[in-house]
Amino acid sequence: MRVLVVEDEEVMADALARGLRRAGYAADVAVDGGAALELAGMNRYDVVLLDRDLPVMHGDDVCRALVDAGTSSRILMLTAAGGLEQKVDGFALGADDYLAKPFAFAELLARVRALARRTAPAQPPVLVAGGLRVDVARRAVTRDGRQVDLTLKEYGVLVELVRADGALVSAEELLERVWDENADPFTNAVRVTMVGLRRKLGDPPAIDTLRGAGYRLVVR
């Protein structure tokens, strides 16, 4: 899952992005409304954390522009004003949720998770492919009853492959969905992660590589 953090206070923006990454999300940061629209035009985000009081373009205008463009992203508006009138205004613009500052990161994370579930097509709580079971709610993976301990990136890659249901997933798609804008497009991060994931899943091999095209899950 990929999240865009739009917050002009850079210390807070970086702290939110770090927390989201520790929770397993890919997170990009924009510090003004214009940069937010530019990033949203280039990438597909599951959730946008949008501060209202932004330079260059006000958060309300950013929200309106995203909604008018038909974004599939869920928008969580952040503001220092938590009154009913401000909430009503935010929802009228097309925001999906509203959180007043200051807030606990645990609450923000819970709301992000809830919104992200609404962005993606409905998925069962446990994904199954052959003897492979991925408990999405608990982030737990087993194969033939054996627990498989994965890093956050390995887990993210595996979820994308399982959800593809045997279809080919390119390295570029994995880089976009599991990493963030700081990832070098020429990096070998996907290949290195795939090596570790294959090793931990064990035999028989669960992931097939089509050189130059991508990866697919082949468990039965």
pTM confidence score: 0.65
> Which residues have a Cβ under 8 Å from the Cβ of 130 and sit 6 or more positions away?
219, 220
Is the domain defined by 126-217 classed in CATH 1.10.10.10? yes
pLDDT tens-digit series, residues 163-180: 888 888 888 888 878 877
- Say which range, 17-21, 128-132, 167-171, 177-181, has the weakest mean pLDDT: 177-181
pLDDT tens-digit series, residues 34-45: 999 999 988 889
Is the model's pLDDT at 149 over the cut of 60? yes
Residues pairing with 138 in the sheet: none
Mean pLDDT taken over the chain: 86
Residues carrying CATH 1.10.10.10, the chain: 126-217
Is the domain defined by 2-119 classed in CATH 3.40.50.2300? yes
Here the tokens at position 109 are 């994370």
Q: How far apart, in whole angstroms, are the C-alpha atoms of residue 114 and residue 47?
A: 10
Residues carrying CATH 3.40.50.2300, the chain: 2-119
Residues pairing with 26 in the sheet: 2
Q: How far apart, in whole angstroms, are the C-alpha atoms of residue 150 and residue 167?
A: 22
What pLDDT is stored for residue 137 in this prediction? 72
